Structures are given as C-alpha cells and as structure tokens.
A and B are shown apart, each in its own frame.
Chain A
Amino acid sequence: MRYNFKGKSSIQGSSLTRWFFVGPAMLVVICLLIYPLCSTVFYSFTDKTMIRSSYNFTGFENYQRILTDSGFWSSFVNSLIWTVFGVLGQIIIGFIGALCLNRIKSPVMRNVFRITAIIPWAFPSIATAMVWKWLLNGIYGFVPVSLQNLGLSEGLVQFFSDPDLVLPSLIFINIWYGFPLIMVNVYAALQTIPQDQYEAAQIDGASALQSFIHITVPHIRTVVGLLVVLRTVWIFNNFDLIYMITGGGPAGASSTMPIYIYDTGWTGRMVGRASTASVLLLLFLVILCVLYFKVINHWEKEDVK
C-alpha cells in the first residue's frame, strides 16, 4: 500500500505544520531585523537626536550632509582597506596554513599545530585589544622596544600613532584573530578530497601545481567562497576591535564606517544622521553580497555539472 507522500502532506492541514517549522525564524527576522531596518530608514530622513523626543522631517538633508562630509568618505575608504586586506590576509594566511597542515604526516605534530593555531580565535575581542595594545604600545610595548633593541628600527615604531601604520597594524591584528577560522575550515574541506584523484593525476604526469588547480581548487572553492562572504560581512561591520584599540584615531586615520556611525549617533547623539550613514553602509553591503552570490551560484552550478 503505497500512498502519495506529497499529496498527503498538503491534505493533512500541514500548512500549520509548515509554519511551525519556519514561523519562529520568520518572527525573529520580522521583529529583530525588519523593524529596525524600517525605523533606521525612517530616522534617516529626520533630525532626531538622542536627547530629545521630538524631531522634524528634513528630507534628504542628512544624505546631502553625509555624502559631502569628508569624514564619511575617509571612513568609507578606510573600511574598504580594512575589509579587503583583512579578508585577503585571513584567507591567504589561513589557506596556506591549511595546505601545510595537510602536508604534515605526523598526526601528533598535526594536532599540536592545529590546536596551537586556533588560539587567537578563542580570544574575545576585548582580550585581543588589550594584549595587542600592550604589545604594540609605542612607548613601552614589547614589539617596538624589541625591534629597537635588535637594531631593526630607528627609534620606537609607532604602530598606533603613525597615520600610515595605524590601519595596517589594526589589519594585522584582525588577520591574527581571524586566520584560524579559515585554516580550520579549509583544512576540513581539503580532507574531503578523495586521495585517489591525486594519485591518478600523478600517474598521468600532472605537476603539483596542476593537480592543485584541477583537483584542489574546484573542491574547496565553494567553502572558500562562503568564507569570503562571511568574513567580508563580519570584518566590514566589525566595531569592537577598532573601538577598543584606537577608537578610530588619530585624526580619523583608523575610523571605519561603524566607528563613524558610533561617533555620530552615540557620542554626537545625532541619531538621524547616524541612521543615514547606516542606510548607506547597508546599501553598499547588499550590493557587494549580491555580486558575491552571483559568483558562488555560478560555481555551485558548475559543481553540479
């Protein structure tokens, strides 16, 4: 006695069951994400401040002000640099780490390396900030003082106050914090590649580079693509690290979009203007991610073939 599975499901009043499954998540999205989005868009057209309950509609005045504010644009450029180099650095360092890990034959050493290398990932941002602030301190920090003692630098390197070094230093800290996630995930993906494919390639006389391009890359690019999306969003929106280490200074040299929004909305209390900046930031992110997903979808389709 065989009955129609699909038919059954639609008969059994299962639309309620369906909503039982997706309802709570929809609720989260509606309450916690759609509402704030609407209110942010709404406030972006007002002169609302944090300390007053009344406000007026100001049309596109906020947009005009923000888009002509040099602070906004320098934060935007900093955000791009911070994100692009942060993502690239994490991916490259982590990716090579995973490839190397895959090469290590001794299981003991492999575990030692793997466990040690994930330590930065376990650092909550407050601890990351604390430690690196001390290590890179330009007056008594371990790293600048050691560099000077070793004769590698003239005077103390100013990691946090030299406007040319502050953003790179922060990016370095961010890479330090984030590469383990990439490494661990890419390593796991590498292990799913059937070993016999490499053996076959070797027999066919393929070089290491060739087997890397034709076997390794296709197997792991979806994972790497996903990681890139996740990390891009995370790094672009990251607030804690910069806020706790430099607060965006000196003279805005390390101010990114989230810092700019915080300064406008919380320190400056201009909720309306901060909302405008948020809307612009979100718009940019959405455009970026649509592009990303186009690429990943393309890969996924290729994988199916």
Chain B
Amino acid sequence: MSLKKRFTAGSCFSYIYLAVLCVMAIFPLIWLVVSAFKSSGEMLANPTKILPVDWTLENFKTVLFTLRFTVNIKNSLIIALATTVIATVISALAAYGIIRFFPKLGNIMTKILITSYMFPSIMLVIPYAVVMRNIHLTNTRTGLVLVYMSFSVPYAVWMLVGFFKTVPIGIEEAARIDGANRIQVFTKVVLPLVRPGIVSTAIYVFINAWNEFLYAMLLVSSSSKTTLSVAVRTLEGADILNWGSMMAASALVVLPSIFFFILIQNKLAGGLTEGSVK
C-alpha cells in the first residue's frame, strides 16, 4: 500500500519536473522558429507577442538565396565531418595502442592528453595563427580541421580508452593464432566490438566541431569558407541590422542540429557510460 503511494507520488513529481524542464527546453526554440516567420516590422513593433500576424517566408529566402547561407551550411558540414572522421580514426588507433602496447606508459599518455584537453582555446589561438601562417594554411578549411584536432583528439582518446578496455584480450589472441596480423586484429575483431563507443564518441566530436566558434571566427576570413556560426555572427555585426534575417539564420543554424540530435538520440545516451562503467 504505502509502497504504491510512494511510487505514485514519485512519478507524479517526475512528470511535473520533466514537464517543466521540457517547456523550458523547447520554448526558446519555438520562439525562435516562429519569430523567423515574422516580418521585421512586426517583430520589433510587438516583441512579446509570440505568434506572427502574417506568416512570411521572406526571411528564409533572404538568408538562403541572397546571403547564400547554403555555402556556410556546406562549410560547416565539411569541416565537422572531416574533423570527425580524422579525429575518430586517429583516436581509435591511439586508444587501442595505449591499451594494448603501452599498458604502463599508457596511463601517463592519457594524462597528458587529458591535460591538453584543458588548454583554453583562447590561449591556443594566437600560436595557431602563427603555425597556420608558417604552413600556408591560414584561411583554409584544411587548416581549421587541423586546429580542431586539438580539442577533438584528446577528448576522443580519453573516451575511447574506456571502451577499448572492455575488449577481452582472449578474443584477440585467438584471432592472432588464426594468423591475423595486428592491424587485421584491430580492424576485424576489435573495432566491431567497440563500434557503439566509437559511434557515440564520433557524435560528440561532430557536435563540438559543428558548434565551434572562436577558431572559426579568428582563423578563417573568406566568407566562402566561413562556418554557419560565424556567418550568423557576421549578420549580427552588420551595420544595418535586419532582425528578420537574423532570426531566420539562427533558425537555420539550430534546426539541422535538432534533427540530427533526434536522429541519433539513442546513440547519444551511450556516451560516457558504457566506457566508464564496466
């Protein structure tokens, strides 16, 4: 009896808490998307009114066709994807290497990696600017991807070490006996086992690369190469603001991310848990 009561009170609270949380979470999104359909005049004349009187697609048209945000969307995608693929490959190799070949040194290696994850990007950006100049990669997407390794690789190695730890060495030994070489063991035996971990790590890397702002703002100047976040920022810094376009542009930054998140939300959950809880 009392048990049941406790449970209902508990789940009642749970529903209320989550409902409040969800309203808080979704309200800014709704507000942003709806505002993007308002004419600029309406938005400024009555900022507290949520729903537009006249729905208009004008803002989206301006942003996509006049301001060519499609180019920025493409840039963000290319940069984030390239970062994800390269960083995940490098990190998977490193995480496996650390676990299997450097059991003692490995601990120090991960510590160094974690320490380097702490470097504030604001500190790194000036030296990077110099490095990029010396290797002629200033103002290129390649350069930006390279710089993104600095925060992606340490993080991904750290995460992946946890996953690779869970692979029993016996399986690998068996494969070796069957004549597979090291690299074959890695690709054919180990990788499939840690695939969920790799996927969720890759997703985190992608999200961080997609959202990155500081390096993208300071290291790339060509508008044909800038990322979506910087493009929105540039709009905001225009000397004649058009709030309608701003809202539409922001909506365009957010909506793809949200679809992506919903698509992969099952994978998101894995994240840190599977790796660290054994």
A contact set with B: CB distance below 8 Å: 2-3, 5, 8-9, 14, 17-18, 20-22, 24-26, 28-29, 31-33, 35-37, 39-40, 43, 50, 93, 96-97, 99-101, 103-105, 109, 112-127, 130-132, 134-135, 137, 140-142, 145-146, 149, 176, 179-181, 184-185, 187-189, 192, 202, 208, 219-220, 222-223, 226-227, 230, 233, 236-237, 239-240, 244, 257-258, 261-262, 265-266, 271, 274-275, 278-279, 281-282, 285-286, 289, 293
Name B's interface SS. Answer: helix
Question: Which residue on chain B has the smallest CB distance to residue A111?
Answer: B265
The answer to the question of B246 belonging to the interface, with a C-beta cut-off of 8 Å to chain A, is yes
B contact set with A: CB distance below 8 Å: 3, 6, 10-11, 13-15, 17-19, 21-22, 24-26, 28-29, 31-32, 35, 47-48, 50, 90-91, 93-94, 96-98, 100-102, 109, 111-124, 126-128, 130-131, 146-147, 149-150, 153-154, 157, 173, 176-177, 182-183, 186, 207, 210-211, 213-214, 218, 228-229, 232-233, 236, 246-247, 250, 253-254, 257-258, 260-262, 265, 268-274, 276-277
Inside 8 A of A149's CB, which chain B residues have their CB? 48
A31 to B112, CA, bound (A): 14
Residue of A114, A123, A126, A145 touching B47 (CB-CB under 8 A): A145
Residue of B17, B94, B146, B250 touching A22 (CB-CB under 8 A): B94
Inside 8 A of B6's CB, which chain A residues have their CB? 208
Closest CB-CB distance, A292 to chain B, in whole Å?
A: 10
Inside 8 A of A97's CB, which chain B residues have their CB? 17-18, 21
Residue of B119, B147, B258 with most chain A CB atoms under a 10 A cut-off: B119
A261 to B121, CA, bound (A): 11
Residue of A18, A131, A181 touching B250 (CB-CB under 8 A): A131
Known: A33-B150, A132-B28. A40 touches B123 (CB 8 A): yes
Question: Which residue on chain B has the smallest CB distance to residue A39?
Answer: B127
Besides A40-B126, A118-B268, 5 other CB < 8 A contacts?
A99-B14, A142-B48, A230-B272, A233-B117, A258-B120
Inside 8 A of A278's CB, which chain B residues have their CB? 120, 122-123
Closest CB-CB distance, B19 to chain A, in whole Å?
A: 8
Closest CB-CB distance, B81 to chain A, in whole Å?
A: 16
Check if B126 sits within 8 Å of A265, measured CB to CB. yes
Question: Which residue on chain A has the smallest CB distance to residue B76?
Answer: A124
Check if A116 sits within 8 Å of B22, measured CB to CB. yes
Inside 8 A of B274's CB, which chain A residues have their CB? 188
Question: Which residue on chain A has the smallest CB distance to residue B44?
Answer: A140
A289 to B110, CA, bound (A): 13
Inside 8 A of A223's CB, which chain B residues have their CB? 272-273, 276-277
Inside 8 A of B93's CB, which chain A residues have their CB? 20-22, 24-25
A145 to B50, CA, bound (A): 13
Residue of A141, A142, A275 with most chain B CB atoms under a 10 A cut-off: A142
Closest CB-CB distance, B149 to chain A, in whole Å?
A: 5
Closest CB-CB distance, B14 to chain A, in whole Å?
A: 4
A103 to B122, CA, bound (A): 42
Residue of A35, A134, A149 with most chain B CB atoms under a 10 A cut-off: A134
A142 to B265, CA, bound (A): 30
